[in-house]
Structure 1
Amino acid sequence: MTISHDTAAPTAPAEESLRDRKARLTRRAIHVATVNQVHAHGLDQATIAQIAAEAGVSTRTFFNYFASKEDAIVGIADRLLDDEQIGDFLVGPVDGAGLASEVARLLHTAFLLTFNDDEVASARRRIFAQHPELLGRQFEKNRQLESQVAEVVATRIRQHDIEFDTAESPEAIADMIVLVCSAPLRAAARRLAERDDSGADTGDDPELFDRSVQLFLDVMKGPTA
């Protein structure tokens, strides 16, 4: 089974630049080609040259995006946030709800590539089942990306002199904020996985994520009197 590189591709972030869009699509093409080749030929037999040829890139370009086949299967590059995304986040609102919403959306942007259409997701799960060691690599990549987001959140806390009722450092506070604000992303991902298991079409669903963010904010307010 060969998966199309452009079928049900993840929705692009709002106001995405041409450069960012090209990079995102190239990264996704390499990710999907890697899943295709490893699913068809096995992890050991699939070569970088075969993957690059299917993705329509050079082997040099492959290594510009991913350090290995294993990383390309996971689909998360070493760094996904660019200077423009970071700059936009740093000038955002300073109120609690605004910060929580913006952190959740920054995480969604950073993890956007991991939302796949149903065929990519199914093949990727089968590869993970055959090579459970990849789950550890995925966990580590997820943690690295969360750390990148936490660094940006800590910078925003310092720049805006945002105060919390704790003596913990901005870095510790930022780590906790990222963990808490990942809830909408996890909830949306779980709903998408349930759709896939039921045979329904899946892929990134911006409306579903928006509803998850709103539910998260509503729950954070606490119960009504």
Structure 2
Amino acid sequence: MTSGTGETLRTRKQRQTREAIHHAALRRVLDEGIDNVTVAEISAEANVSTRTFFNYFPTKEDAVLGLPEEIADDDAIEAFIDRECSSGDLVTDVSHLVRSVFAVTPNGETFERIREAMTRHPQLRRRQLQRVTAIEQRLSRTVAGHLRTDHRFSDGDVDVDDAARVIVMVCSSAMRLAIQNATRNDAEAGSAETAEHAFDQAVELLRKVIRKLQ
């Protein structure tokens, strides 16, 4: 059974559980400090067991940041490899791949609270960088596999692995710009439509910039 948003009942419950743990962790760390909060306390506030906590987040730091246990969406990666959702434009396709594996974009208030937590506790910023780097490395390997089948990269003029890393990093910038734009207006920050529109605008801007530079 699916909801009006297209989610299955199971997917919706998983999302709600993940969000409950994330919000509990973020609130407690902001109120009490990261060293004074335990996984057991976060789990109790979210009304889940510690075992369930670790099904969603590997550490309390990841829970505060909202970073999931899995570092990438295997379904999205497989769809990209199989060209199931190809638009015919590599920048667009990689941008959407990057977005899909970075989980749900937080709304404006949550985004600001996460930034506040990272400012107070530098280990959160380091953890975020570690996880983002791990995701980008995996995506780079996926994109490199795609480039090896692209005749434009068959002449050996550029290193395919390096090219893939550049593409992923550039496309990641579209997602970061979209987050900034979507959270700029507090009145609309929580809107999924606003986030989607901001992302589409960022990708289109990226494509225009690339065309102008050619």
Q: TM-score range by the shorter chain?
A: 0.7 to 0.9
Specify whether residues 194 and 66 from structure 1 end up closer, same or farther in structure 2 by C-alpha distance, changes over 3 A only.
same
CA RMSD, 1 decimal: 2.9
Q: What pairs up with 1:44-123 in 2 under 5 angstroms?
A: 44-92=35-83, 98-113=89-104, 115-123=105-113
Q: C-alpha offsets along residues 153-177 of structure 1, whole Å, 9 cap, x if unaligned?
A: 122233x344326444432221111
Shift of 1:104: 0.3
Separation in 2, partners of 1:117, 1:65 = 20
Gaps of 5+ in 2: none
Separation in 2, partners of 1:134, 1:118 = 19
Report the residue type matching 1:143 in the other structure: T
SS in 1 for 2:184: helix
Shift of 1:67: 2.0
2:117 is aligned with 1:130: no
Shift of 1:119: 2.8
Could you say which structure has the greater relative contact order, defined with CA pairs below 8 angstroms and 6 or more residues apart?
Answer: 1
Q: Which structure has the highest helix share of the two?
A: 2
Q: Aligned match of 1:30 in 17, 21, 26?
A: 21
Q: C-alpha offsets along residues 120-178 of structure 1, whole Å, 9 cap, x if unaligned?
A: 223222222211232121111111111121122122233x3443264444322211110
2:210 maps to what in 1?
Answer: 220
Separation in 1, partners of 2:159, 2:16 = 37
Q: Aligned match of 1:163 in 145, 152, 156?
A: 152
Single out whichever of 40-49 and 21-30 deviates more from structure 2: 21-30
2:167 is aligned with 1:177: yes
Contact 2:86–2:93 under 8 Å retained in 1: no
Give aligned-pair identity as a percent: 35
Specify whether residues 172 and 130 from structure 1 end up closer, same or farther in structure 2 by C-alpha distance, changes over 3 A only.
same
Separation in 2, partners of 1:206, 1:75 = 19
Separation in 2, partners of 1:38, 1:109 = 27
Specify whether residues 185 and 220 from structure 1 end up closer, same or farther in structure 2 by C-alpha distance, changes over 3 A only.
same
2:198 is aligned with 1:208: yes
2:142 is aligned with 1:152: yes
